[in-house]
Homo-oligomer: A and B are copies of this chain.
Amino acid sequence: MKQITKYVIKNSLKRIFLYRACLVRLKLMGVEKVFSYTLANETGVTSEQVRKDFSEFSIKGNKRGGYEINDLLGKMEDIFHRNKDHNIVLIGMGNMGLALSKYSKFVQRNMNIVATFDIDPFKQKERSGIPVYSMSRLKEIIERFKVKVAILAVPEISAQEVADELMRHGIKGIVNFAPVLLKVPPDVVINNVNLCDELESVIYYVHKQLKIDGFKNLELLYRDMKY
C-alpha cells in the first residue's frame, strides 16, 4: 500500500553530523581528545545535549578523560555504515542534477553516484565523469551495482512516475528535489529537499526579525532561534 510518508530526520541525527564534521576538523588540527563541552561550544549546543545524543547512539566516553577523537569517528563510521561504499543513482540531468553529479563531497564520504539517467537523448552523454544513460537501462544498472538509494532531480510532473519505477527495481531510499510529496510504501524512506521552501523560510524569519527589531523582544527571538 502506498501512502504519504512524512519522513523527518531526527534532530539528534542531524546533530551527530555536526559533531562529526567538527571532529574531522579538530583531528586535522592535531587534536586527539575532546570533552562534551568542546563539541558543544563548537557546534552551538549544550554539553548535556552532546552527551545525551551520544548516549542515544550508545557512544561511551571516559569519565574525566572525555572522548578520543579517533574512537568517536570510528564509532560514527559504524553508525553511518561508512566503512563500505554506497552506490547511488541520480535521475534527472537538468541544472540541479548536473550540479549534484559534479558535487565532489559525496565521493569524499564514500557515496558514489555510479550512473545518472535522463529521458532527453541530448543529455545522454558523459558530462562530469559519470555516464548519463537512458531510463531504459535503470533496472540493469540498479541491479548490477546493488543500488538502494537514489537522488531524484526530475521535474515535479514526472517525479511520482519515476519514483514508482525506482521502487519497482528495488530502491529503498530517495532524496527528492522535486516539490511534490511522493506516495510510497512505508518501507521506503523519502527525504524531501525543497530549495524554494528553504529560501522562503529565511525570508519569513528575516521579515519577522526586522519587525520585532525595534522593540528588542528577546524572548521571541530566542524561541525561534535554537542553538
Residues of chain A touching chain B, judged by Cβ–Cβ distance below 8 Å, are 1, 3-11, 13-14, 17-18, 21, 42-45, 79-81, 86, 88, 95-96, 98-100, 102-103, 105-106, 109, 111, 148-149, 151, 172-175, 179-181, 186-187, 189, 191, 193-207, 209-210, 213, 220-227
Residues of B within 8 A of A43 (CB): 4, 6, 181
Given A4-B227, A100-B195, A187-B220: 15 more A-B contacts, CB < 8 Å: A7-B225, A8-B11, A18-B181, A43-B181, A95-B102, A99-B99, A106-B195, A109-B196, A148-B206, A148-B210, A149-B202, A172-B206, A173-B203, A187-B209, A189-B206
Instruction: Report the separation of the CA atoms of residues A202 and B151 in the bound assembly, to the nearest whole angstrom.
Output: 10
Pair A173/B189 contact, Cβ less than 8 Å: no
List 26 A-B pairs, Cβ < 8 Å.
A3-B224, A4-B43, A5-B223, A6-B43, A6-B44, A6-B226, A9-B198, A13-B201, A17-B197, A42-B181, A43-B181, A105-B196, A111-B199, A111-B200, A111-B203, A148-B206, A149-B199, A172-B206, A173-B202, A173-B206, A175-B202, A186-B221, A187-B220, A189-B202, A191-B201, A193-B198
